[in-house]
Amino acid sequence: MEEQIQGLRELIGKEDKFVNSKFISIASGKGGVGKTNFAVNFAYVLANNFRKKVLLIDADIGMANVHILLNSDLKKNIKRLLNGENIENLIVNIKGFDTLFGFSGIDSIAELDDFRIHKLIFQLNKLSQTYDYIIIDNSPGIGEKVISFLRASNTSYILTTPEPTSIMDSYALIKSLYKIYGYSRFKIIVNMCKRKFEEKEVFDKLNFSTNKFLDLNLELAGRLSFSENLEKCVKEKKLVAEIYPSDPYTVDLKNIAAKEVGEPIKEKNQNFWDKVLSFLKQRV
Ligand SMILES: Nc1ncnc2c1ncn2[C@@H]1O[C@H](COP(=O)(O)OP(=O)(O)OP(=O)(O)O)[C@@H](O)[C@H]1O
Ligand SMILES: [Mg+2]
């Protein structure tokens, strides 16, 4: 067994991993602020408008619902990976990008022995190398899994709405990650904006607090307009970015994507999965 683990360690160490892959986590303090809709439509825009190779991972524990928006089922999910199935068989390709459903299955990580952990890391590393962007849709709040994914990501988009409760909860999430772990790679997205420049007002409030109490300067990634077409699309299990390319929401989304694509990758992220799984193991 020790030899097998050593063999896998060597394989993991040898590969030039993620030279061009960027890991982006989507998170929020408060629930229901539009993360999953943003994650799915953002993946769609990066893949179809910017010709990027994208993997979307549904890491929401309680409410895995990326598959609902994509009108797919959950037959292929990450739990099967833990049972020894090959990762390539679990990828679902819809709408021009790949998706890995139900990362919540990783709950049982504590029960995995070292060999299986290394095998899992090896498979996830190997898979991840082939993408430009890996987008991770998280649960709301400051749960242990969210923190593990965010800490390992190059960038974390924090979604908030103009509601004071949502702004407060975003502050709490940022404060925990920054004060406890020194993590500061946040970008703020203000969703459900109804007025021009509303995103600036919301961002200024949040940034004022992080500046004053944490000595931390945030970055505004952009706004997302309130969209009746989006609500309609959710009900019909369609993607607003696909059906309504000129809807203000889709236009805002493309602006955020253009900014992201235009940014050079500041740092290589060679150990994303090693980090996530070790953070998860530490906490369970
Ligand atoms: N820009 C928007 N305009 C109008 N409605 C929106 C917008 N964004 C999200 N919504 C509404 O909010 C609902 C919740 O969105 P979504 O499921 O994406 O939130 P979430 O943050 O992922 O929730 P959870 O925290 O439960 O995972 C959607 O079903 C939709 O009706
Ligand atoms: Mg969600």
Please write the tens of the pLDDT for every residue from 152-186: 999 999 999 999 999 999 999 999 999 999 999 99
Query: Which residue among 65, 225, 231 has the greatest number of ligand 1 atoms within 8 angstroms of its CB, and so is best to mutate?
Result: 231
φ and ψ at residue 191, rounded to 5 degrees = -95, 160
Residue 9: what pLDDT? 61
Q: Mean pLDDT throughout 236-255?
A: 97
Specify the 3-state DSSP secondary structure of 99.
strand
Least confident span in 100-109, 187-196, 245-254: 100-109
Q: How many CB atoms lie within 10 A of CB 196?
A: 9
Confidence of residue 97 (pLDDT cuts 50, 70, 90): very high
Q: What is the pTM of this model?
A: 0.90
The angle formed by the CA atoms of residues 99, 105 and 177, to the nearest 5 degrees, is: 85
Strands 97-100 and 92-94: antiparallel
Domains and CATH numbers, the chain: 2-283 (3.40.50.300)
> How far is ligand 2, taken at its centre, from the CA of residue 55, in Å?
17
Q: Is 102 in the pocket of ligand 1 (CB under 6 A)?
A: no
Which has more pLDDT, 129 or 103?
129
- Give φ, ψ of 202 to 5 degrees: -65, -45
- Half-sphere exposure (Cβ direction) of 206: Cα atoms closer than 13 Å: 33
Name every residue whose Cβ is closer than 8 Å to that of residue 257 and which is 6 or more positions away in sequence: 42, 45, 46, 49, 50
